[in-house]
Amino acid sequence: MNDNSNQLNGASKKTLRAYQLWLGLAVAALILTYTVYVPNRKSGPVGSQSQYSLLNPSAALIEKKDLLVNFQSLRDRLTEKYERRDDYLVSLYFEYLPTGANVSINKDEKIWPASLIKIPVAMAAMKKVDTNAWKLDNQLVILDDDKDSEFGELYKQPTGTTMTIEEFLRESLVNSDNTAHFVLLRNLDGSELEDVYTHLGMDDIIDALKQTPKGAEADNRITAKRYSIFFRSLYNATYLTPEYSNVFLNILKDASREDLSAGLPSDVVFVHKTGIRIDERVWADSGIVYLPGRPYMLTVMIQQKGDAADGQAAVNRLFTDIAKEIYEYVAQAR
C-alpha cells in the first residue's frame, strides 16, 4: 500500500514538473511573439504607435475616415450665410474633436455670454469637490443676498433653506438658476474663480475684471471661439480630473433640449449650456455634440442688431439651421 502510494506521488510530481515546464515555455513564447512580432506589424494600434513613435498615441485609435474630413466646403457655406448679416451678429465656433479642425465665423466679435458665465463658476465649485475641500453632499445655505428672480425658482425658497452642493450645481447648470449660481459664487474665494481662467490661459479676462470700477458691471463679453475653451477643457479633463469632468458633463447632459438642440436628432447626446440676456438681445448656446465616432464642439452666440417683431422666432430658426447644417455635414462627410 505504501509502495503504491509513493509511486503515485512520484508520478504526480513528475507530471506537475512537466506541466510547469510546458507552461513556462508557452508563456515565454507568448512574450517573445508579442515583443518581437507585434511591434513590427503595420496594422493595428500597437504597430502604429511603434512605427510612428512621434505621433499622438490616440491617432491609432481613430478611424482613418474620421481623420480625413475636409471642412472647407462647410466653412465656405457658413461664412456666406452668417458672417455679414444686417439683422443679427453671429459669432460661431465649430471644432471637430478627433482632429482639432475648426471653423470660426466672426471670430473677433465679442458678445455677452449671459448665463454661459455659470460654467466657469461651476467648474471652480467642482474643483473644490475634486480636491476634497468639499463633498457633493455637503450643504450650502440660501441667503437673502443670493436671491435673484430673473431665472429659476430657488428665489422663492425661504431664507436659510439648505441644499447639497450637487443640487446647487444641477440647478445652476441645468435650470440656469441665478440664485443657485450666486450661492456657489458667494462660497468661492476670488482666487478659486481666477484659477479656472488662468489655468485655461484666459488671464486677460481676470485682468479686465480687476480693472472694473467698484459698483460697475464688468464687461465680460467674449467670442464664441474663446468661450469654447471651457468645454474643450471639460472634454479633455485638463482642469478637473477625468472623474469629476465626467460628473460635470453628466449634469449638463440633462440640460433642456432647446436652441441648437432643435437642429439635432433627438437620440444624439448634446451636452450644453444655453444663455440669454434680454437687455442686450443676446442668445447663446455652447456644448459638445456626441455624434458616434465623430464628436464635435459647437458654440453659437447671436446678438440682434435691430428691432424685429419676430426676434425670438428668427433666432430659433438660426439656431436650428446652423445645428442641422453642421450635423448633417459631419455625419455624411467622407
User: Of 27, 43, 61, which closes a domain?
Assistant: 61
Q: Contact at 8 Å (CB) between 63 and 195? A: no
Chain centroid to Cα 119, Å, comes to 10
pLDDT, position 92: 97
Do 189 and 73 share a structural domain? Answer: yes
Cell of 289: 455634440
| Joined grid coordinates for residue 140 | 450650502
Residue 72: pLDDT over 90: yes
Domain stops at, among 12, 36, 61: 61
CA distances (Å), origin 136, targets 195, 234, 267, 333: 20, 18, 29, 42
pLDDT of residue 35: 44
Question: pLDDT > 70: what percent of the chain?
Answer: 82
Residue 56: give the domain boundaries.
2-61
Q: What mean pLDDT do residues 197-212 have?
A: 84
| Mean pLDDT within 61-71 | 78
Do residue 69 and residue 26 come from a single domain? no
**What pLDDT was estimated at residue 58?**
72
- pLDDT at residue 15, rounded to an integer: 55
Residues 143, 240, single domain; the answer is: yes
The x, y and z cell numbers of residue 103, run together, are 471653423
Give per-residue pLDDT as tens, 212-245: 777 777 778 899 999 999 999 999 999 999 999 9
Question: In this model, does residue 163 exceed pLDDT 80?
Answer: yes
Residue 239 contacts residue 313 (beta carbons within 8 Å): no
Distance of alpha carbon 189 from alpha carbon 187, whole angstroms: 7
Domain identity same for 195 and 136: yes
Lowest mean pLDDT among 3-7, 224-228, 246-250: 3-7
**Per-residue pLDDT, 259:** 95
Render pLDDT for 27-43 as a digit per residue (tens, 0 to 9).
Answer: 455 444 444 444 444 44
In a shared domain, residues 311 and 326:
yes
Residue 277 DSSP class: E
Average pLDDT, the chain: 85
For residue 73, is pLDDT > 80? yes
Where does a domain end: 15, 39, 61?
61
User: Are residues 54 and 76 both part of a single domain?
Assistant: no
Instruction: Taking residues 188-215, report their average pLDDT.
Output: 86
pLDDT of 48 above 80: no
**In a 10 Å sphere around its CB, with 0-12 CB exposed, 13-18 middle and 19+ buried, how is residue 107 labelled?**
middle
CATH number, domain at 240?
3.40.710.10
Same domain (yes/no): 49, 134? no
pLDDT at 243: 96
Considering the domain architecture, whether residues 192 and 46 belong to the same structural domain is answered as no
Q: Tell me: do 234 and 248 sit in the same domain.
A: yes
Q: How many residues does the chain have?
A: 334
Q: Is 237 left (phi over 0), alpha (psi -120 to 50) or beta?
A: left
Total structural domains within the chain = 2
110 lies in the same domain as 243: yes
Instruction: Write out pLDDT tens, residues 252-267.
Output: 999 988 999 999 999 9
